[in-house]
Amino acid sequence: MATAILPALPALRQAVVQSTTEPGCFELRTDLPMPNMPPDHVLIKVRAVAVNHCDYKMPARIHCPGAVDGCDFSGAIVRLGDAVARTPGGLRIGDRVAGAQMASQARRPWSGAFTNYIAEKPENLWRVPDQFSWAQAASIGCAVASSVGMALWWEMKLPGTPEVPNKEEMFVLVYGGSTASGTFAIQLLKMSGYRVVTTCSPKNFELVEKYGAEKAFDYHSPTCGDDIRNYTENSLEYVLDIITEAKTIRQCYAAIGRGGGRYVGFELLPDELMATLRKSVEPTWVMGLEVAGLELELPGGYYRKANPELHDWLH
């Protein structure tokens, strides 16, 4: 049987990287080396990327000159590492895949999604169904597989899942329900048997209700938190705050019932504010990059120890 001749790969790749001169800014490089290809990796030609909050927050707060930016991507496999090629039923050249990269890292400056070629382990990828566009596939990586999933089941420890829905009637608040991560969270919670309440602008009420929210509240209202608390009859225990700013934290705490509960944010929580809030609520926050299980050598409260247990839990 004749061996297929694979198209030649370029000698260099392009990427959007953190500026080497201006913190918080970016520059296009066209002279970066192609990714290293260990035997247990595949090489992917990127077809679409998605933009997350961390893609501009990280460079603005943590300057890593020359580090590739961007987390979520989709693309087609163009090369297989030797170990992958020998795996029966494994990924093959031409397969459509999507995933997420650790980006803006000083020790891993080559890692990031805003480039035209990526090397990744198969265990960190998912096959893209034919009915998904490249853009749709790219938008799922970090939002579902990492931040939302980790927040709801690793940190919040919700008892119900899409596979085994919760049988007890319980509310969960998704603050920022009309965002990409918010709509994912609403759908997953609805599938998991929860009554979902959310916040957004009135113009998006119909959108979030379409995705499964039972009731939407206007976050502009000064009584938003109290309104949610009244609607849930003082029983709300679980809150996912997609926005995570001082105002949203206060509104979420106001919504939680008398007995307290768990609050999970998507951003570093300000110590001074948290010290003034009631202690019956257990607060924490997630960073999607943690799911790789590797140490995140970032300054201040963003530092994370290596957590292989989290990586194994997700996979």
DSSP state letters, 164-220? S---S--EEEEETTTSHHHHHHHHHHHHTT-EEEEEE-GGGHHHHHHHT-SEEEETT
- What is the per-residue pLDDT for 264? 98
Please report, for residues 7, 30, 36, 96, 239, the alpha-carbon distance to residue 10 in angstroms, rounded to integers and kept in the order given: 10, 11, 13, 20, 47
Question: Would you tell me how many other CB atoms lie within 10 Å of the CB of residue 201?
Answer: 12
Residue 303 has pLDDT above 90, yes or no: no
Task: Report the distance separating Cα 315 and Cα 311, nearest Å.
Answer: 6
Long-range Cβ contact pairs of 306-314 (< 8 A, separation 24 or more) = 310/150, 310/154, 313/154, 314/145, 314/146, 314/149, 314/150, 314/154
Q: Each residue of 236-279: pLDDT tens digit?
A: 999 999 999 999 999 999 999 999 999 999 998 999 999 999 99
Do 168 and 71 lie in a common domain?
no
Question: Using CA atoms, how far apart are residues 283 and 111, in angstroms rounded to an integer?
Answer: 31
Quick one: 131 and 178 in the same domain?
no
Over the stretch 46-88, which tens digit does the pLDDT of each residue have? 999 998 878 888 888 888 999 999 999 999 999 999 999 998 8
Give the confidence band of 295 by pLDDT, cuts at 50, 70, 90. confident
Give the residue numbers spanning the domain of 132: 12-139
Say whether both 173 and 264 belong to one domain: yes
Residue 114 CA to residue 101 CA, distance in Å, equals 10
303 and 179 belong to one structural domain: yes
CA–CA gap between residue 167 and residue 215 (Å, rounded): 20
Give CA–CA dist 59/79, Å, rounded.
Answer: 31
Report how many domains make up the chain: 2
CATH number of the domain at 44, please. 3.90.180.10
Predicted confidence (pLDDT) per residue in 148-157, tens digit: 988 999 899 9
Please report the pLDDT score of residue 4 as a whole number. Answer: 60
* Domain edge (last residue) among 88, 109, 139: 139
Distance between CA 39 and CA 315 in Å, rounded?
20
As a whole number of angstroms, the longest Cα–Cα distance in the chain is: 72
Domain annotation covers residue 116? yes
- Packing angle of the helix pair 224-231, 246-255 (nearest 10 deg): 30
Q: Pairing relation of β-strands 117-120 and 12-18? A: unpaired
254 & 285 share domain: yes
109 belongs to a structural domain: yes
Whether 168 maps to a domain, the answer reads yes
227 and 202 in a single domain? The answer is yes
CATH number of the domain within which 177 lies:
3.40.50.720
- Are 279 and 153 found together in one domain? yes
Which amino acid makes up residue 217? Answer: F
Note whether 196 and 306 are same-domain residues.
yes
Last residue of a domain, one of 110, 139, 168: 139
